A and B are shown apart, each in its own frame.
Chain A
Amino acid sequence: MNLFELLNFYVVPGIVLGSIYALGAVGITLIFAILRYAHLAHGDMATLGAFIALAVVTSLGVSPYVALPIAILGTAAVAVGIDKVFYEHLRERPKIVTVMASLGIALMIRAVVQVVWGVDTQTYTRGIVRPEDYFGIRIRDREIYTILAMVALVGVLHVFLTRSKWGKAMRAMSDNPNLALLSGIDNKKVVMLTWVIAGGLCAASGFFLGINTELKSMMGWHMLLPMFAAAILGGVGRVEGAVLGGLIVGIAEELSVLVIPSEYKAAMAFAILLFMLLVRPTGLLKGKVL
């Protein structure tokens, strides 16, 4: 196997898959760090985002990329709504109760998707897209868009977190909630903002998974483990860590078929997760351990 084959068949798909994981992992890492619990409904929220985009595409007949912003806004609104209705009143209880509630939410969101859109696989657009050749590296347009969109969204988020007042408030809540509250940060706004960002990124993650593969009601649930592995690999609370983790997990999953049977591709994320918890629970970029 030469270098180009390795790149074209394993590394490029790995980067694309990794970008998709990264979008979800950033949300997970923010929720883990700011709200301090593992959000198990994250994958199914991504499914919901993907299907909202599908609804826009089929009803308005627009290009999927036009539907993406609508899906992001819609899912962000749903995320805030779920927090208000189901999670907010659990805030004073032990955090693990919210983790349990989120498992129930995962089931509920999936049931909604299955009732509204059915359980058959669907796609945004029909037909086969052939990859184009760039100096020997073959890549499809949609794959380029996936990577670019991930970089753009995370870039904007990074600027927001480091430059804006509310971004700084979010980071303060993550670093030291008591001190942040003492200095007058509005906890409710920070929580809402976290859900807007996490929900929007979820939708983007689900959308790009859908456009690169297909839409299924279980698509998000199967992403949950890789997304958590990515968040923990990068270091909980570190946005750039989540991106790095996502890319590593994505590439590792694609490369894993070289050494283990392809049925066990999904086990790669789990192996990375356990390995990190064993040797370096703070993650590559030194995040938190809850």
Chain B
Amino acid sequence: MEFLGLVNYALFMGIFICIYALLALGLNIQWGFAGLFNAGIAGFFAVGAYTSAIVSTPPADGRLGGFDLHFVFGWIAAMLAAALVAWPIGKICLRFRSDYLAIASIGIAEIIRLVIKSEPVLTNGARGISSIPRPAGDLAYMESQIAYLIIVLAVLIAAYVLVERQFNAPWGRMMRAIRDNEDAAKAMGKDVEFRRLEAFIFGAALMGLGGALFAHFNRSITPEAIDPMVATFLIWIMLILGGSGNNRGAILGAAVVWIIWSVSEIATDRLPHEYAVQAKYIRLFLIGLMLQLVLRFRPEGLLPEPLRGDQRATKSGADPR
């Protein structure tokens, strides 16, 4: 019994790590490779979650849809919708330094939160959308968990392979060039704004997919399902700790941070009630502090960005003989 409980918990954690790793990969495209600061991850996450919910749930009264389509269409729609939200923001803000994008992305996350809360026609208001079909959800509990873990793992691996391939391709080299020296990239004839917009939209689409996976796993999505600030921040610390610019780092960071986060939750839940609430905020404080410490003492993260290209040239450049 005890053993089964542990296995169950591990499965649960594994699924969440995969979902967060997908979000961290999305952020890695934006921040790690294009240097774009997105502080509204939770917004894109929510867009993906609700879009997939609307597309794949059976028809319901009083709200848009559902369209009762296969969940795969829901996931594709989630990616498209998140990309569609990202497009105008990127279009307006990417002409400027990333500070402006940071502010605007906080704003878009806030607007999305408002829309979710106050448009019951889209989102069914505070009750949220329930009875979202879960892939392999008809199986017995344990089998269904295992099956879902396999599905999210497959999605994560597919995303990882595609993103990694893209980063080693000329596109990735160009993105890093734009990130590291915008003027030089521009002088080489690269369309900096358009390329940044590409990275921003790809990243947002992955975040939307993460949201969809989350909604299908929970079988429901409500406005309270995630705390925007906490979710956004957790993903940031995952990427920075894991190593921005390194896809394996992003996945490793997601695993490490999520394990710390959920184990500390178990620890604080055992406290008496009057301390439990405070302990929740102390955890938030510590996660903020962790970011400061990583930024100060190990800015490259656990797995630093690999040095690519001609290593000899880099070395001789740094150490003239």
Residues of A within 8 A of B (CB): 32, 37-38, 40, 86, 89-90, 93-97, 99-101, 103-105, 107-108, 110-112, 114-115, 119, 221, 224-225, 228, 232, 261, 263-264, 266-267, 269-270, 273-274, 277-278, 281, 289-290
Contact = CB atoms under 8 A, between A and B. Distances in A.
A263 B114 CA distance: 7
Contact of A107 (B97, B98, B288): B288
Contacts of B100: 38, 232, 277, 290
Nearest to B113: A266
Contacts of B89: 274
Contact of B92 (A95, A97, A225, A274): A274
Nearest to A38: B99
Interface string B229-266: 10001001000100000000000000000000000000
A2 B240 CA distance: 56
Give the 7 A-B CB pairs with smallest separation, nearest first: A111-B285, A108-B288, A38-B99, A263-B118, A104-B291, A270-B107, A107-B288
A221 to B, nearest CB: 7
A40 B277 CA distance: 25
Q: Give the interface centre of A107, A232, A261, A278 by most chain B CB atoms within 10 Å.
A: A107
B192 to A, nearest CB: 16
A95 B97 CA distance: 10
Interface stretch (B58-66, B168-176, B292-300): B292-300
B104 A274 contact: yes
Given A103-B39, A115-B278, A277 B104 contact: yes
Given A108-B288, A114-B278, 15 more contacts: A32-B99, A37-B99, A40-B103, A96-B35, A97-B295, A101-B292, A103-B236, A105-B292, A107-B229, A108-B289, A267-B111, A270-B108, A277-B96, A281-B96, A290-B96
Nearest to A90: B295
Overall SS of chain A's interface? helix
16 contacts: A37-B99, A95-B99, A99-B37, A104-B233, A107-B284, A107-B285, A110-B284, A111-B284, A114-B278, A225-B107, A261-B118, A264-B114, A266-B114, A267-B114, A277-B92, A277-B104
B195 interface: no
Q: Give the interface centre of B114, B236, B287 by most chain A CB atoms within 10 Å.
A: B114
